Amino acid sequence: MRTGQQIIASGRYQTLNPWLEVEKIREDFPIFKEKIYGKPLVYLDNAATTQKPQSVIDATIHFYSRDNSNIHRGVHLLSQRATEAYEHARVKVQRFLNAAESREIIFVRSVTEAINLVAQTYGRKHVEAGDEVLISAMEHHSNIVPWQMLCEEKGAALRVIPINDDGELLLEEYEKLLNSQTRLVAVVHLSNALGTINPVKEIIEMAHQWKVPVLVDGAQAAAHLEVDVQDLDCDFYAFSGHKLYGPTGVGILYGKADLLDSLPPYQGGGDMIRSVTFEKTIYNVLPYKFEAGTPNVAGGIGLGVAIDYVNEIGLSNIAAYENELLSYATEQLCGIPRLRFIGTAHQKASVLSFVIEGVHAHDVGTILDQEGIAVRTGHHCAQPVMARFQVPATARASVAFYNTRDEIDVLVKAIHKVIEVFK
């Protein structure tokens, strides 16, 4: 595993520092007026959830105060306005991912629900006893447990792509795992615990040589990387609104139209049907076949506005700025005694996970909180990753485009205080 100095020397981070009016951007986020224990909020828990710009908050309030109505079913004006706004948000998502058609965009509650949807539709239809599902050793629990449940039910096997000491997938081992019994590959795009950016396009190409579909968990990636599902040629892609500066409780599953059309519904109820009698139900067309019941209308609209906000800044600008910030944070942290990074991949974004010798991660987080700094501590819903690196937990600082070098300096000073406390 490389040291912090070797990480910097490798030059993997972009040095481009685009003109980004960060202080002006921060004014769009009302939460940054908050004080934590009398100190300015330094929010470095963006991998868990991002803060919301005023435009997203306003869009949600506007819906509930001006347009609140159920969608798709009403002939009255409020229902028509709500339906139009919700379906327009679907088109925004389609364009954001460069999906071929808006009917390939399924609204769900979260990436967790999106993965479960695929497991319970594609998985139940295509996975049988003796078959195999491939995931990686760096997956979030949401991309492990649904496949375990499916494999236990079907008598299939769950195979795991190993990672090296830097937190990178071993593609030669992945290639060996692919075979005629492989029915699906499900892999994370950007690791929430390590920050690793996986070569998903190459992973997809290798799977498709065996005619195996690939699901990509884009929960972390969508806010930091430009995603083009047609270029990737992935079969499924999932991301969450709340990690993209949008509301909680809304997520997206992209799926290729032909593949989605071939699958059975995930849940039964209203709106996913065309006709119901006691003898037979005829299901609705895409995307509504997979959207049973009243959806999170306000959340969907808010997500559309969040996409507008991100597009206005530009994901390429965001990525360049965040990479520069991550490079600076890595450089500052790597000189701290007793601090060790967990996750030192060549291709990395957003996340810096670390441990401090002799200090439990929860103690690190508690002291940082007293300094007004929000980081995440624990296993990050990635216990197999912790086991791989033989640590019980890590402290995780994760950046966004509204973070600054000054905030990194505050973090570094606070970590020195942690070390002083635990001499």
Asked if residues 133 and 158 have their Cβ atoms less than 8 Å apart, the reply is yes
CA 302/CA 56 separation, integer angstroms: 5
Closest C-alpha among 333, 403, 349, 401 to residue 374: 403
CA 278/CA 389 separation, integer angstroms: 55
Sequence-ordered strand ranges (E) for 304-388: 339-341, 351-356, 373-374, 376-378
Burial of 118 (0-12, 13-18, 19+ CB in 10 A): buried
CA 378/CA 392 separation, integer angstroms: 8
Cβ contacts of 178 within 8 Å, gap of 6 or more: 134, 185, 206, 207, 209, 210, 212
Could you tell me the two tokens for 77? 């004006």
Neighbours of 9 (CB within 10 A): 10
The catalytic position among 151, 234, 334, 381 is 381
Helix or strand run (H / E) with residue 177: helix 171-177
Sequence-ordered strand ranges (E) for 111-231: 132-136, 157-161, 182-188, 214-217
Backbone angles phi, psi at 312, to 5 degrees: -65, -40
Helix or strand run (H / E) with residue 23: helix 22-26
CA 153/CA 129 separation, integer angstroms: 9
Q: Is 39 helix (H, G, I), strand (E, B) or coil?
A: strand
Q: Annotated catalytic, 381?
A: yes
Cβ contacts of 21 within 8 Å, gap of 6 or more: none
Bridge partners (DSSP) of residue 252 are 107, 239
Could you tell me the two tokens for 388? 């791989």
The letter for the amino acid at 161 is: I
Q: Which residues are catalytic?
A: 381
